[in-house]
Amino acid sequence: MSRGKSIWKLTDKYLLGFFLGILLLGLMTIFSSTYEGGDIDFFDFSTIYGKQAVWVLISVFFGVFIMLLEGQFIKNSSYVVYLIVILLLIGVLFMPSIKGVRSWFQFGSVSIQPSEFAKLACSLAVAKYLSSVNVKIQDFKTRIVVLLLLAVPAFLILMQPDAGTMLVFFAFIFVMYREGLSGNVLLYGFFAVLIVVIAIFLKASETENLIFGFQVTGNMIFVFVLLLLGAVLFAVIKLLVLPRYRKPRYKALVWSLLTGIAINLSINYVYDSVFKERHRTRFQIMFGIVEDRRGDGYNMWQALSAIGSGGNSGKGFLNGTLSNNKYKHVPEQSTDFIFCSFAEEWGFIGCLFFIIIYLAMLVRIIMISERQRSKFTRIFGYCTASILFFHFMINIGMVIGLAPVIGIPLPFFSKGGSAVLTFSILIFVFMRLDAERQKVLR
């Protein structure tokens, strides 16, 4: 049995199918969003879609190359890759800034963004470290090491400054959770985010209620509600939980309550004293309390109009009238807001299809990860799924007005060579590792 053939046979065809499908869909959307009429010239660097097509081709070549590597080799070079990327991240800080950001190495018309590669490097490093013998996630030391592995590149990226990309490192919380981090961390996180969102919303509403002659803002009422809820839960625990389990539950409840109240109080203070009027407006726009189609709300307004105008089944390929280079009503329509182009042209049915196959690919990655005997492969798979999911969640959430406007690309769709290369390599490496699953004993 020749080696090449065995690799093709062992490659997961579903994942490959989803991946190539999404890659093509992305390329098509880039084309539609940047094509301005005239001759179509693929692989021509002077057009955005041509450039992107070249990058996709490069990514596929890289992928084929990766498929020919030994899995063990990849695993062994993890730290080396990590170190190289860290050096690149340091190096990029000395590059000339473009629009106030030092994120790119510029070679003629080609630019490389090392922060994208950091996603791959961290995935490899975290997978390598956590899969080492004698490393247990329950150990304090382990957590600190993982945190450091992530914090160093995150900090360097923040120095560029590129807060959006930095946020991606929060995606690793899913990996940690899968590997045994207490679920409470996830819950607390969720609980905290929920409290923050509700508190800011209530505060930004700027409704004042008169209670016993005191001006009370919405989020302060929320504090009372939380206390009330706490009291009810206290009673529930007391009545329904066996005495020996009560103590940790009380502890959790008290901590949650204190966190909630602290968040509310600090938001109350920050909103009134630290925020400037424009910050407040931004939050009010985000929560839909005020509508502003000219100033800070412009992007959102244009994006939602473009998406909404797609209607049921869209305007058809190349028929968009808002989010493409010809009309340019949607800012950043080939990068962060590329989903607008897709949604406008394919409508709700297209979006439904898109969300389903995107999530199907992620679920497939998770399912494949779980069938691994190699811990490294599994963790790497989770890293890949988590990173892609985080991008998907934040990007789409932002474009449809559910998340704040954070500059984060939509993998395989947004313009950007380094990004498509990184995401493709993540998938290819994972496929390569998966193809070897039979050989690995542990």
Partner 1 sequence: MDPFQGRRWVIILILILIGLVFIFRLLFIQVLDTKWKDRAKNITLSEKSIQPPRGLIYDRNGKLLVSANQVYDIMVTPRDIGQIDTLALCGLLGITKSDFNQKIIKATSGYNVSYKASLFIEGMYKEDYAKISTALKKYTGFAAVRSSERGYPYQTAAHILGYIRKISKEQYNNHKNDKEPYFKNDYIGITGLESVYENELRGKRGKVYYLKDYKGNKKEQIQENKPVKGKNLYTTIDIDLQDLGERLMKNKLGCIVAIEPKTGEILSMVSAPSFNPSLLSGKNFSDNYKQLLNNDSLKPLINRPIYNDSYRPGSIFKLIQSLIALNEGVIKFNSYFPCNKQIIGCHNHEPPYNLKIAIQHSCNPYFYQVYKRLILRGENSNIFIDSRLGLEKWRKAVQKFGIGVKLKTDIPGVKKGLLPSLDFYDKWYGKNRWAFSTIYSNSIGEGEIGVSPIQMANLAAIIANRGYYYTPHLVKKIGENGTKKPEFLEKISTEIDSSYYSPVVDAMERVVLYGTARSAKIDSISVCGKTGTVENKSFNDHSVFIAFAPKNNPKIAIAVYVEYGTWGGTWAAPIASVMIEKYLKSTLSDRGKAKEKKIEKAIILNKNSDFTF
Q: Does 183 bind partner 1 (CB under 8 A)?
A: yes
Strand partners, 106: 111
C-beta of residue 324 within 8 angstroms of C-beta of residue 333: yes
What is the distance between the alpha carbons of residues 418 and 117, in angstroms, rounded to a whole number?
7
For residue 355, give both structure tokens: 């969300």
Segment near partner 1 (CB under 8 A); pick from 103-111, 231-239, 273-281, 347-355: 347-355
SS3 106: strand
Q: At what angle do helices 277-286 and 183-204 cross, to 10 degrees?
A: 110
**Residue 215 is a binding residue for partner 1 (CB under 8 A):** no
Q: Is 213 among the residues that bind partner 1 (CB under 8 A)?
A: no
CB-nearer residue toward partner 1: 93 or 356: 356
Task: Choose, by CB under 8 A, the member of 179, 336, 434, 436 that binds partner 1.
Answer: 179
Partner residues linked to 105 by β-bridges? 112
Residue 310 contacts partner 1 per CB under 8 A: yes
312 belongs to the binding site for partner 1 (CB under 8 A): yes
CA distances from 332 to 37, 90, 300, 305, 338 (A): 19, 28, 11, 15, 7
> At closest approach, how far in Å is the CB of 348 from partner 1?
4
Footprint (CB under 8 A) of partner 1, residues 351-390: 351-352, 355-356, 359, 362-363, 366-367, 369-370, 385, 389
The torsion region of residue 311 among left (phi > 0), alpha (psi -120 to 50) and beta comes to: left
| Contact flag: residue 38 with partner 1 (CB under 8 A) | no
* Closest distance of CB 182 from partner 1, Å: 11
* Closer CB to partner 1, 37 or 243, in the complex: 37
In three-state secondary structure terms, 44 is: coil
Nearer to partner 1 by Cβ, of 167 and 421: the residue is 167
* 431 close to 15: Cβ distance less than 8 angstroms: yes
327 binds partner 1 (CB under 8 A): yes
Checking 297-303 for CB contacts under 8 A at 24+ apart, the result is: 298/331, 299/330, 299/331, 299/332, 299/337, 299/405, 300/401, 300/405, 302/329, 302/330, 302/331, 303/330, 303/337, 303/340, 303/399, 303/400, 303/401
According to the binding rule CB under 8 A, does residue 400 interact with partner 1?
Answer: yes
Site pattern 149..178 for partner 1 (x: CB under 8 A): -------------------------x--xx
Is 185 one of the binding residues for partner 1 (CB under 8 A)?
A: no
| CB closer to partner 1, 219 vs 369 | 369
**How many Å separate Cα 332 from the centre of its chain?**
18
Q: Binding residues for partner 1, per CB under 8 A?
A: 174, 177-180, 183, 293, 301-302, 304-312, 321-322, 326-329, 343, 347-348, 351-352, 355-356, 359, 362-363, 366-367, 369-370, 385, 389, 393, 396-397, 400-402
